[in-house]
Every structure is written in structure tokens, then in C-alpha cells.
């Protein structure tokens, strides 16, 4: 990976915009499902990114340490994800996932904000989606081995199947947790 460089990260395209939209919608949907999995009283229909963030970060305080690997970089797409409040009287807001802010701007002002439909936002939105998928998969099945049945061409993670079932390389919030190997060949 040392010889590769993530070039052209600021290139924009209509295809990138569509991928960002789809990845963001799926990130939100799977995040809601993850919240509902913890608490079946979680209101999936009446929740926003702030409610989702509170629940997920409360349950998984180390989710931001999850690494995703591309040919060009090792990234932690959710490393800065948190709730912020500028002052005691200020409203809480979600910060640390810039691709989400850019998605929100694109969603409401596509033509004016088209410059945000970048390769970088596309990669980070997909990497963030992969993190949520891994966590939800691990939560539901007790393993993420099923994700390795059809490996992704662009993304990977340092949590290979033979290590995911050990404590050595568990997803950050599952270190020390007993893993179940529910995937059948």
C-alpha cells in the first residue's frame, strides 16, 4: 500500500452522487435496524441521525476504531463520530462524519452542492456503511464470517474470518466477547 496514493479524491460525478445517496440511505437504515436490535421500542420511523448516533455510540463506544482497508489507505471512517454541544444551551448535533454532512447538503441542494459528490465522500460513505454492516452482522449472527463468503473487491478489513472468531482481532467493541460461529459452509 505504500506505493499507492489516493489520487483524484476531489473528482466529482453524477455516479458518485448516486452512490453517496444510496450508501447514506443504507447507512441510516442499517443503523436504525441496529438500534432496534438493542431496543425494540426504538422508533425506526421517527428517528434521525442524532438519535441513531446516541444509541449506537452508547452501545459501541469503540466503533470509531474499526478499520477499513482500500488499496490506497487504511481508514477509520467513523473515528470522529460523536454528539457535540457547543454550549449548555446549544442544541446537540452530530459531528465527525463529514461525508454525512455533505450528503445532507447534496440531498437538499443537488445542483448548488454538486461539488460535494466526490470520490472521497463516496469512499468514506461506503466504508462507513461497511462498518455498520459488520457490527449489525456480528450482533445478529454472532460472527462476521458471512461477509467473507463473497469478498468485496474494493474494501477489506483487518478482521479476517479466522481471526474474527478469536479475541485477538475482534471488532473493537467485541474484544473479550464470546464469539459464536454460526456460518455454515
pLDDT value at 174 more than 60? yes
Query: Can you name the residues that pair with 168 across neighbouring β-strands?
Result: none
Cell digits of residue 137? 452482522
The Cα–Cα gap between 90 and 137 comes to 36
State which residues form the domain around 37: 14-174
The string of pLDDT tens digits covering residues 21-47 is: 999 999 999 999 999 998 999 999 999
- The percent of residues above 70 in pLDDT, for the chain, comes to 78
Cell digits of residue 87? 454550549
Q: How far apart are the first and last CA of the chain?
A: 31
179 in a structural domain: no
181 in a structural domain: no
Phi, psi of 91 (to 5 degrees): -70, 145
Domain count, the chain: 1
Q: Residue 27 CB: number of other CB atoms within 10 A?
A: 25
184 in a structural domain: no
183 in a structural domain: no
The string of pLDDT tens digits covering residues 68-118 is: 888 778 899 999 999 998 888 889 999 999 999 999 999 999 889 999 999
pTM of the model: 0.81
pLDDT value at 14 more than 50? yes
Amino acid at each position: 500500500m505504500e506505493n499507492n496514493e489516493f489520487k483524484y479524491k476531489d473528482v466529482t460525478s453524477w455516479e458518485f452522487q448516486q452512490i453517496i445517496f444510496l450508501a447514506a440511505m443504507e447507512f441510516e437504515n442499517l443503523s436504525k435496524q441496529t438500534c432496534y436490535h438493542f431496543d425494540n421500542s426504538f422508533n425506526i420511523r421517527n428517528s434521525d441521525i442524532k438519535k441513531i448516533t446516541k444509541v449506537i455510540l452508547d452501545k459501541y463506544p469503540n466503533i470509531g476504531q474499526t478499520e477499513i482497508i482500500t488499496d490506497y489507505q487504511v481508514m477509520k471512517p467513523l473515528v470522529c463520530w460523536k454528539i457535540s454541544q457547543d454550549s449548555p444551551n446549544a442544541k446537540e448535533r452530530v459531528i465527525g462524519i463529514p461525508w454525512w454532512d455533505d450528503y445532507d447538503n447534496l440531498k437538499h441542494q443537488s445542483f448548488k452542492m454538486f461539488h460535494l459528490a466526490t470520490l472521497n465522500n463516496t469512499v468514506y460513505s461506503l466504508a462507513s456503511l461497511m462498518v455498520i454492516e459488520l457490527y449489525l452482522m456480528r450482533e445478529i449472527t454472532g460472527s462476521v464470517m458471512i461477509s467473507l463468503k463473497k469478498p468485496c473487491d474494493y474494501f477489506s478489513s483487518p478482521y479476517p474470518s479466522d481471526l474474527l472468531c478469536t479475541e485477538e482481532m475482534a471488532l473493537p467493541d467485541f474484544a473479550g466477547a464470546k464469539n459464536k460461529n454460526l456460518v455454515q459452509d
